[in-house]
Amino acid sequence: MRLIRKYAGKGLCGVVIAALLAGCQTVGTNDTASINFRIPRGSKLVLNREFTIPAGVAHVIFQQGEPGPAANEFEVNCRFEVRDLGPRVIQPDSLLITRWSSQREWVNEPSTLKYYKVFHLKSERQVDIMPMTCQIWSYPLIGRPVTIRQIQEALGGYFTFEFAGQGSSE
């Protein structure tokens, strides 16, 4: 305590607090295969080719590069959704990622967790696009958050990420 009083007026306390807080920061990376990759503000999800949402539903699930009605939940899949029921053709477009989050929740406690990312997308031409969710179910001891590279593989050639300041993803 005496040491703190001695150096409090000299800024050492501020330096120590800053160092402690810096230790709590998550390290970012440009590696899309890392769970620490952060999507830069202003990034886009580019729809490269059209696909159809079938009659009576408002979504398509992408897995292993192909759209379909359902998915194997234990493999990475992405649910692209619109507000109104199909049939509907989704046209090529550039979708601004306005915000995103990475989360997890129990599907069947204590045996199955869902790891997922939610992308809030904005289109000037197709205004009824809802947030896209990309997920995988896994077991708690071996599960990991979904990476952007895994998401790109699930979306295949239909979509490409364009990261602000970095160009498109592979």
The 10s digit of each residue's pLDDT in 141-163 is 999 999 999 999 999 999 999 99
Contact assessment for residue 113 and residue 143, using Cβ atoms and an 8 Å cutoff = yes
**Scanning the structure block, which residue is given the tokens 């300041």?**
165
- The pTM (predicted TM-score) of the whole model is 0.80
Residue 21: its pLDDT value, please? 45
CA distances from 128 to 29, 41, 81, 116 (A): 32, 22, 9, 22
Residue 10: its pLDDT value, please? 52
Q: What stretches in the chain show pLDDT beneath 70? A: 1-28, 167-170
**Scanning the structure block, which residue is given the tokens 């992408």?**
62
